[in-house]
C-alpha cells in the first residue's frame, strides 16, 4: 500500500504534467487562429486559379492542346502501372490519433493499389520515420520539420519534386493523403489527386466560354506554361496549410482532454491521500488510547 509520501509525490508529478499539457493546449490554440486565417484567405485564390487554367485550356482544340508539353498535366495518361502518393503527416506527436489515422489510411491505399508500382513522397517527421522502416516502398523524397511554420517555399520545393517524380516514372496520377481542416472539433481524412489537373478543375471543360474578344499578352500557351506549375505549388501549399491547421486542432483537443484527465486523477489521489491520512490519525489515536488504558489499568 502506498504511503502518504508516495501519494504526495504522485500528485506533484501529475500537477507538473497538467501544467505542460495546459501550456501545449494554449500554444496550439494561439497558433490555430493564424492557421485558420491563412486557409480562409488562400482558398479563393486557389479556386480562381483553377478556373483560369480550365478556361484557358478550353480555348484549345484537343489536338492542338496535346501538342504542347504542358498538356501532360491536363490529360490522364494511359494505364502505365505507376502511381505516386504524397503522405502528409505532422512533425510531432501528442496530437491524439492524428498521425496514426493518416498513416493507416496511406497503408490501406497502398494495399488497394498493390497491382501498381507506387512511388512515395513523405512529408512530416512521423511520415518519414514510418515509411523509412517499411520494406518494398519506393521512397522518392522526404521532407520534415516544416510544421507549424510551413510557407510557400516548402510548397514550391515539394511541387518541384512532385513534377519531377511525375515525369520521371510516367505516373498515371499523383495522390495526396492528408487531413483537411473543417473546424476545431472536426478534421477529415482526404485522399485527392492533384495530377492530372483536369480532375480538380472547378469549371468543366465542356462549358467553354469564348475569349475571342480578349487579346492575351503573353499568349494563351505561354500563360498556361507559367500558370500550371504555379497552380500545382499553390494547391500543395493549400494542402500543407489544411494539414497544419488540422494538426494544431488535434493537439489542442488532445491536450485539453489530457489536462481534464490530469485534474480528475489529482482529485482521486487527493481523496485517497485524505482517507489514508485519516486512517493513520485514527490508528494513532487508538494506540494512544490503548496506551493510556494500559497505564491507568
Please give the average per-residue pLDDT across 64-89, as a whole number. Answer: 84
Taking 80 as the threshold, does the pLDDT of residue 81 lie above it?
A: yes
Q: How confident is the model at residue 214 (pLDDT cuts 50, 70, 90)?
A: low
Q: Tell me if 210 is assigned to some domain.
A: no
Q: How confident is the model at residue 108 (pLDDT cuts 50, 70, 90)?
A: very high
Q: Tell me if 279 is assigned to some domain.
A: no
Alpha helices, H only, the chain: 4-57, 62-65, 98-112, 125-133, 152-168, 220-296
Q: CA–CA separation, 283 vs 236, rounded Å?
A: 69
Compare 280 and 239 and report the one with higher pLDDT.
239
Q: Tell me if 8 is assigned to some domain.
A: no
Element (H, E) at 175: strand 174-181
Q: CA–CA separation, 198 vs 268, rounded Å?
A: 59
Q: How confident is the model at residue 192 (pLDDT cuts 50, 70, 90)?
A: very high
Q: Tell me if 260 is assigned to some domain.
A: no
Taking 80 as the threshold, does the pLDDT of residue 66 lie above it?
A: no
Q: Per-residue pLDDT tens for 21-48?
A: 899 888 888 888 888 888 888 888 888 8
Q: Tell me if 107 is assigned to some domain.
A: yes
CA 175, 178, 181, 185 torsion-angle sign: positive
Q: Please give the pLDDT value at position 45.
A: 85
The grid coordinates listed for 83 are 502511381
Q: Tell me if 278 is assigned to some domain.
A: no
Range of the domain at 143: 22-203+217-254
Taking 50 as the threshold, does the pLDDT of residue 288 lie above it?
A: yes
Give the chain's end-to-end CA distance (angstroms, integer). 35
Q: Please give the pLDDT value at position 223.
A: 83
Spell out the residues 6+ positions from residue 52 whose beta carbon is closer than 8 angstroms to its own.
227
Instruction: Estimate the crossing angle of helix 220-296 against helix 98-112, to 10 degrees.
Output: 130
CATH code for the domain in which residue 199 is found: 3.40.1380.10
CA 146 vs. chain centroid, Å, equals 12
Find out whether 178 and 243 touch, Cβ atoms under 8 Å.
yes
Please give the average per-residue pLDDT across 161-174, as a whole number. Answer: 93
Q: Please give the pLDDT value at position 139.
A: 93
Write a three-state SS string for 258-293.
HHHHHHHHHHHHHHHHHHHHHHHHHHHHHHHHHHHH
Query: How many CB atoms are located within 10 Å of the residue 219 CB?
Result: 10
Task: State how many domains the chain has.
Answer: 1
Is the pTM above the cut of 0.85?
no
Q: Per-residue pLDDT tens for 120-165?
A: 999 999 999 999 988 888 999 999 999 888 999 999 999 999 999 9
Dihedral-angle region of residue 191 (phi above 0 means left; psi in -120 to 50 means alpha; beta otherwise): beta
Please give the average per-residue pLDDT across 267-289, as a whole number. Answer: 83
Q: Tell me if 229 is assigned to some domain.
A: yes
Q: CA–CA separation, 254 vs 97, rounded Å?
A: 9
Q: Please give the pLDDT value at position 141.
A: 94
Taking 70 as the threshold, does the pLDDT of residue 167 lie above it?
A: yes
Chain mean pLDDT for the chain: 85
Amino acid at each position: 500500500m502506498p504511503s502518504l509520501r508516495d501519494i504526495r509525490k504522485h500528485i506533484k508529478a501529475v500537477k507538473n504534467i497538467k501544467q505542460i499539457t495546459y501550456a501545449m493546449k494554449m500554444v496550439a490554440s494561439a497558433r490555430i487562429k493564424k492557421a485558420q486565417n491563412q486557409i480562409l484567405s488562400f482558398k479563393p485564390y486557389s479556386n480562381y486559379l483553377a478556373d483560369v487554367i480550365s478556361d484557358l485550356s478550353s480555348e484549345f482544340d484537343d489536338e492542338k492542346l496535346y501538342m504542347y508539353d504542358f498538356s501532360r498535366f491536363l490529360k490522364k495518361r494511359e494505364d502505365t502501372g505507376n502511381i505516386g502518393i504524397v503522405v502528409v503527416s505532422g512533425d510531432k506527436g501528442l496530437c491524439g490519433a492524428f498521425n496514426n489515422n493518416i498513416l493507416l489510411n496511406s497503408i490501406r491505399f497502398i494495399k488497394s493499389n498493390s497491382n501498381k508500382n507506387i512511388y512515395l513522397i513523405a512529408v512530416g517527421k512521423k511520415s518519414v520515420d514510418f515509411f523509412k522502416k517499411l520494406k518494398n516502398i519506393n521512397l522518392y523524397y522526404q521532407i520534415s520539420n516544416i510544421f507549424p511554420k510551413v510557407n510557400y517555399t516548402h510548397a514550391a520545393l515539394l511541387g518541384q519534386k512532385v513534377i519531377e517524380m511525375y515525369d520521371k516514372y510516367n505516373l498515371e496520377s499523383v495522390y495526396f493523403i492528408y487531413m483537411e481542416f473543417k473546424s476545431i472539433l472536426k478534421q477529415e481524412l482526404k485522399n485527392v489527386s492533384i495530377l492530372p489537373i483536369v480532375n480538380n478543375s472547378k469549371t468543366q471543360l465542356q462549358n467553354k466560354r469564348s475569349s475571342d474578344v480578349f487579346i492575351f499578352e503573353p499568349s494563351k500557351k505561354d500563360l498556361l506554361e507559367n500558370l500550371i506549375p504555379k497552380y500545382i505549388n499553390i494547391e500543395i501549399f493549400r494542402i500543407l496549410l489544411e494539414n497544419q491547421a488540422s494538426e494544431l486542432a488535434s493537439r489542442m483537443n488532445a491536450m485539453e482532454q489530457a489536462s481534464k484527465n490530469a485534474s480528475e486523477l489529482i482529485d482521486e489521489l487527493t481523496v485517497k491521500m485524505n482517507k489514508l491520512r485519516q486512517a493513520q490519525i485514527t490508528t494513532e489515536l487508538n494506540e494512544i488510547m490503548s496506551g493510556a488504558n494500559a497505564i491507568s489499568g
